[in-house]
């Protein structure tokens, strides 16, 4: 077992958003996402075959859903996104690093 810290190993230069699997099994995947002013591609939506539970551990971001509904998430806020729900990240803080924890499950 290797102990790690969710807030460690964050690069100073976040030119690209970072997606890192922390746990990956057949039933669950846990991913750390690090953003700083990043958004989803303009032309794309996330549409997963799994449910997604997401929490913001640090910073803030906004999710937009296909129906136009928007949800602003800040430190400690979490949301469950049912599978096949079209959504995207429409905003993250440009000045502060945002750390998300996403849990994908069946």
Domain boundaries, the chain: 18-105
* pTM (predicted TM-score): 0.93
pLDDT band of residue 97 (cuts 50, 70, 90) is very high
Per the structure block, which two tokens stand in for 70?
């928007």
Do 73 and 33 form a contact (C-beta atoms < 8 A)? Answer: no
pLDDT, tens digit (0-9, with 9 covering 90-100), for 11-63: 888 999 999 999 999 999 999 999 999 999 887 899 999 999 999 999 999 99
- In the numeric block, the tokens 């690069």 are attached to 11
pLDDT at 2: 85
Predicted confidence at residue 81, as pLDDT, reads 98
**Percent of the chain at pLDDT above 90?**
92
Fold of the CATH domain 18-105: Jelly Rolls (2.60.120)
Mean pLDDT over 3-18 rounds to 92
CA atoms of 3 and 74, how far apart (whole Å):
26
């Amino acid at each position: 077992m290797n102990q790690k810290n969710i807030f460690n190993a964050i690069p100073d230069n976040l030119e690209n958003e970072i997606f890192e699997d922390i746990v990956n099994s057949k039933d669950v995947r846990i991913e750390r996402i690090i953003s700083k002013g990043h958004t989803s591609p303009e032309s794309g939506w996330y549409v997963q075959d799994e449910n997604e539970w997401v929490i913001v551990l640090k910073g803030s971001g906004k999710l937009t859903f296909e129906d136009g509904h928007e949800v602003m998430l800040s430190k400690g806020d979490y949301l469950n996104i049912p599978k096949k729900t079209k959504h995207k990240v429409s905003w993250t803080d440009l000045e502060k690093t945002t750390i998300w924890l996403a849990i994908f499950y069946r």
